[in-house]
């Protein structure tokens, strides 16, 4: 087996953890995958992975970043959360992740939005709706990012074969 093929296999395998990192909130999964791809491109002098291929992967990364930052907030907004609720949800996401990794972020997000909405004198039903919608938005965002990570991996391997 040639050294070129071995390097391609190694870098393809290095991308696999990125697909699994997507399900852990706050983990830079697709950023990790893009970094691995960039390192491969530099080593390969962008001969196998062309600049055009790399731009396609950057587009996937950009979409992933937008989804990461907007899914929970959009869910909260759709559920009627206040600005204070969305800010507290984001803080709860970080604190929850730090206290109970890897999935405590979801619980923290829910608790942050719920607490802020109750303190804003919202009814229990309104607060639960806003908190539940933020949680649903985040889970939906993780699902979409998982699909994007798989597409990223498949495209990287496809680019290596062409």
pTM passes above 0.75: yes
Q: Residues 8-32: pLDDT tens digits? A: 999 999 999 999 888 876 678 999 9
Q: Chain-centre distance of CA 18, in angstroms?
A: 10
Question: Binning pLDDT at 50, 70 and 90, where does residue 102 land?
Answer: confident
What value does the mean pLDDT take over residues 36-61? 95
Contacts of 81 (CB under 8 A, 6+ apart): 89, 113, 116, 117, 130, 131, 133, 134
Predicted confidence at residue 93, as pLDDT, reads: 87
User: Rounded to an integer, what distance in angstroms lies between the CA atom of residue 140 and that of residue 137?
Assistant: 5
What value does the mean pLDDT take over residues 53-74? 91
Predicted confidence at residue 23, as pLDDT, reads: 82
User: Rounded to an integer, what distance in angstroms lies between the CA atom of residue 73 and that of residue 127?
Assistant: 15
Q: Long-range CB contacts (< 8 A, 24+ apart) of 44-53? A: 44/7, 48/4, 48/8, 48/159, 48/160, 49/156, 49/159, 49/160, 50/159, 53/155, 53/159
CA angle 21, 148, 137 (to 5 degrees): 80
Question: Binning pLDDT at 50, 70 and 90, where does residue 73 land?
Answer: confident
Q: What are phi and psi of 78, to 5 degrees?
A: -60, -35
Q: Residues 116-140: pLDDT tens digits? A: 999 999 999 999 999 999 999 989 9
Q: Long-range CB contacts (< 8 A, 24+ apart) of 91-97? A: 93/25, 93/26, 93/138, 94/26, 97/25, 97/26
From the DSSP assignment, how many helices (H) and strands (E) are in the chain? 6, 0
Percent of the chain exceeding pLDDT 70 equals 99
Question: Binning pLDDT at 50, 70 and 90, where does residue 69 land?
Answer: confident
């Amino acid at each position: 087996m040639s050294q070129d093929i071995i390097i391609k296999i190694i870098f393809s395998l290095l991308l696999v953890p990125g697909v699994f990192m997507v399900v852990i909130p706050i983990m830079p999964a697709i950023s990790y995958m893009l970094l691995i791809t960039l390192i491969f491109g530099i080593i390969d002098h962008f001969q196998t992975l062309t600049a055009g291929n790399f731009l396609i992967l950057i587009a996937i990364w950009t979409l992933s970043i937008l989804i990461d930052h907007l899914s929970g907030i959009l869910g909260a907004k759709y559920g009627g959360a206040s600005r204070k609720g969305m800010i507290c949800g984001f803080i709860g996401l970080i604190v929850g992740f730090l206290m109970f990794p890897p999935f405590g972020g979801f619980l923290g997000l829910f608790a942050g939005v719920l607490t802020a909405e109750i303190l804003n004198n919202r009814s229990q039903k309104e607060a639960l709706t806003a908190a539940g919608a933020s949680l649903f938005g985040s889970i939906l965002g993780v699902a979409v990012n998982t699909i994007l990570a798989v597409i990223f991996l498949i495209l990287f391997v496809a680019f290596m074969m062409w």
